[in-house]
Amino acid sequence: MTKLQRRELLAFIAAAGGAAFVSAPAHAMPGIDQEGAIRIGEAYIRENPSVDHHALQRELLPNGWSATALAGLKHRVRADFRDGRMFVHRGWRISDTEGRLFALAAIADQ
């Protein structure tokens, strides 16, 4: 898999799957690498221990999951990369927004 394909896959999981975890734990999401999503989220939380489930949900999905929310998340991901806001996990550069979505997935799975 090329780096671009990995990036697209990670962005899809974060934007499409990660946000869906808000109402369903990772084990309930077929087709998602549930363990991987949770591990990334847990790693993000270790580096950002003050992360709070309710604050993340209010920040990332204030009006719940929708096409508008997805568009907003994609915009935030682009802005994170443009402004250098990244989380590095096992050599992968993940936008801060993606990291926060994975954290939300990890917290929701507990």
User: Cβ atoms within 10 A of the Cβ of 52, count?
Assistant: 11
Question: By C-alpha distance, which of 75, 64, 13 is closest to 38?
Answer: 13
pLDDT band for 57, please (50, 70, 90 cuts): confident
Read off the amino acid at residue 16: A
Considering the chain, what percentage of its residues have pLDDT values greater than 90? 24
Question: By C-alpha distance, which of 53, 68, 34 is closest to 100?
Answer: 53
pLDDT band for 13, please (50, 70, 90 cuts): low
pLDDT recorded at residue 48: 94
Pure H helices in 15-95:
19-20, 34-47, 53-60, 67-83
Question: Is the full-model pTM beyond 0.85?
Answer: no
Decide if pLDDT at 3 tops 50: no
pLDDT in tens, 18-27: 444 444 444 4
